[in-house]
Amino acid sequence: MGSHLGADPTQAVDGLVRAIRDLTSDPNYKLVADVFSEFLYVKEQNNKLSSSHQVVLEEYRKFRNELEAQKGVLEGEKKDLEHLVQEKVQEIVQLSAARTRLQGDLEDTQKRLDEEKSNAAAAAAAAAQEYANLQEKTSNEYAALQDTTNKAYADLQETTANAYADLQDTTAKAYANLEESTSKTYADLEESTAKAYADLQETTSAAYAELEAAKKDGEDAAAAAAAQAADEIAALIEAKTGLEEVKVNNEAEIEGLKGNVSDLEAAKAGLEQVKADNEAEIISLKERIATLEEEKKMLEEELEAARQEIASLNETITQKNNEIESLRESLRAAEEQIASLQQTVEDKNAEIENLHVKLTAEGERANAAEAHGRDLQAQLDETTQNLHTTSGKLADLEQYRIVLHSENDDSYVTVLDKIWTTIVTLVENTFRPDIDDQTLLDPSCWTNLRNSPYLKHATQLQIPLPQSNTPAAKGMRISAVLAVLSRAMHKHLFRPVYLFDDDDENLVKFLRLLEDEDPTREAHLRATLMSMMPERQEEQGARRVKTVVREVSWVVQHLLGALQFEAFCSGLEAACKLACTQWMHIQLAQMKIEPYFGPPYDDFDWQVLELPEFAEAAERDNGASLHMADDVGGGSVVDDRLETVEAITAAPEPIEATEATEAPPPSDNLSHNPDDDMMEGEIDPDEILLVVWPSMCAVESGELMSITQGLVISKDQARPALEEQRTRSRLIPRPGSRRARTMSMPGQSRASSPRGKPMSFLAHSVTASDMATDPGMDEM
């Protein structure tokens, strides 16, 4: 290693490039590459043959299964259709039988209905005639009977009245005569009896007196007198008995008269009975007439019922006719359906025949496919044998590369964000505190930072670094250190591999060119390089970390005290180790990630670094501008801002500065406002002064696509520091210095920056002999 310390790095890099070129042109390498290509081709063909064979077999099986399934479905449909046809035929037979039966029933019903109608009509006519005859006969009989009865009743009533009057007169006369004679006889008898009784009593009394008188005279005279008296009493009794018999006879005669009266009354009762019988006969005739009326009503009701039955039978006939018509329609529909089903069966049979033909053709095709499959199988066996051979060679080749990982972009963004937060925290905590006055007043302490190649070639403009503790000066110091640190990490840590001791920019360019032509081969080469000498890569990673710490600490060593410097170096080493470890994880990614600093800045994502110092400096600058505008006038301040700063060295102006005078005047830039639609934190590429942290990009098809935003310092943020440095330059004139020409900010034309062709900042760098400071700062 010691013998190579004085070697030229450029020669070493050229030797490496030549060695890689020789390696790619070596026939053995080409043989390996051809074997690899042949293996890939054979593998692809094998996959195609396998997949095609499987596809053909699968299509054959699928088509055969479909044909069998379709055949089964068609057979099922055919059976269903045959069954349906049989059912329809049976239904037709049943319907025909039902139609015949209904026609017979209809004819029978029609005949029966006709007979019933004729019978009902005859019965109605006979009933009407009988009713008319009966009504006429009844009317005649009733009229004759009524006349006869009225005459007989009148005659009987007259005869009865006359006989009753005569009998009543005769009876009354006889009764009066009998009563008169009887009364006279009874009066005479009673008078005679009374006289006799009185005479007898008088005689008796006289006799009793005489008897009593004579009693004493003798009882014989008494007995004789008693006998005589008894005889007289017996005669009297016989006379009384005769009178009683006359009375009885009279009474019998009276009873006979009364019997005659009873007979007359009986005759009268007979006449009354005859009258009652006649009235009863009249009532019976009336009842018979009512009965005949009821029979007439019943016959009318029966006639109406017969008419209703005839109407119902007519409705039934109409309904049966409708049913017959519907059955005829159903029969016609069934016949049409049967014809359609027969046509469908014929179509299905034709389809089955076509399917049989297709099945036969597909069977022949399947046989051909099987034969082709056997040929393919033979080719597959041969290809498999070749594949085994090639796989062995490929396995040997696979040992010389690693497997690149494919992860989500968010995981890589998280890794990069972790690296950024670590270094920005370290730099802010270190350079935010005030620097002592001795260091501020000593220009040599600032030489390393101002003359750092990372900072000088970061932009074509001069970076203002005021030697003070103002917020503007602190913000620019932090930004400058971050810019130096990010570029040092890009040069040494953010690399594809850690195989080489010196600058590997040529390898980066070579991989980028190879990625443009063949991304797959570039990934393969990168994976092969990553697998080589892992211990050396770890050692080179540790060495590169120390290199970054050494270069950055050398830049800021005079700006910090001993304790601050030691703490900064320790934190910087830890941050670089973290960045190296995390970047080694990114090196293993399938997606290639590269930092991009620009220019050009177009078509990439950038964000302004918002430091509190810049905000405070902007507020102070605005206050001072307002105060100077009130005292002097606003025009002088603006004109002063448009002046260029004095050149730090007396070196001649670069060609870029001369060409920059041809850029549009600064007034155009001042009059151009950023897009109002621009998101907060984003910046117009023309306003970028310094890139503090690169935009991490993924390389896709030879183009860079931003996955993280780069952090930049804008011209507006640097304006307070520029004003401060410009003021100090006026107060302290330096011999031999001269004022540079007024220059505008040379913005890169968007048309001249092809998208996706970023160039590393090392491509824009100059050699150490050209590290003269840029003469001016563009107006802001």
Structure tokens that stand for 238 in this block: 């016989």
Q: How confident is the model at residue 742 (pLDDT cuts 50, 70, 90)?
A: very low
Cα–Cα dist 341/318, whole Å: 33
| Least confident piece of the model among 129-143, 209-223, 428-442 | 209-223
Cα–Cα dist 375/171, whole Å: 164
Q: How far is CA 386 from the centre of its chain?
A: 56
Whether 509 contacts 463, CB under 8 Å: no
Percent of the chain with pLDDT over 90: 9
Output 777 or 701, whichever has higher pLDDT. Answer: 701
Q: What is the pLDDT of residue 753?
A: 34
Whether 507 contacts 718, CB under 8 Å: no
Whether 591 contacts 496, CB under 8 Å: no
Sign of the four-CA dihedral 24, 25, 28, 34: positive
pLDDT mean over 467-473? 88
Q: pLDDT digit string (tens) for 707-721?
A: 888 999 888 888 888
Mean pLDDT of the chain: 75
Any idea where the domains of the chain sit in the sequence?
27-369, 401-668+679-770
Q: pLDDT digit string (tens) for 294-332?
A: 888 888 888 888 788 888 888 888 888 888 888 888 888
pTM greater than 0.85 (yes/no): no
Q: pLDDT digit string (tens) for 43-64?
A: 788 778 777 777 887 888 888 8
Q: Is 130 left (phi over 0), alpha (psi -120 to 50) or beta?
A: alpha
Q: What is the pLDDT of residue 486?
A: 93
Q: How confident is the model at residue 400 (pLDDT cuts 50, 70, 90)?
A: low
Q: Annotate 372-412 with DSSP letters as a single string.
A: HHHHHHHHHHHHHHHHHHHHHHHHHHHTTS-PPB---HHHH
Distances (CA, A) of 646 to 64, 702, 719, 729, 773: 91, 42, 15, 7, 11
Structure tokens that stand for 321 in this block: 């006719």
Q: pLDDT digit string (tens) for 636-684?
A: 333 333 233 333 333 333 323 223 323 333 333 333 344 444 455 577 8
Output 327 or 548, whichever has higher pLDDT. Answer: 548
Q: Is the pLDDT of residue 594 over 70?
A: yes
Q: How confident is the model at residue 204 (pLDDT cuts 50, 70, 90)?
A: low
Structure letter (DSSP) for residue 769:
G
Cα–Cα dist 737/693, whole Å: 33
Output 475 or 632, whichever has higher pLDDT. Answer: 475
Cα–Cα dist 583/494, whole Å: 7
Cα–Cα dist 561/54, whole Å: 76
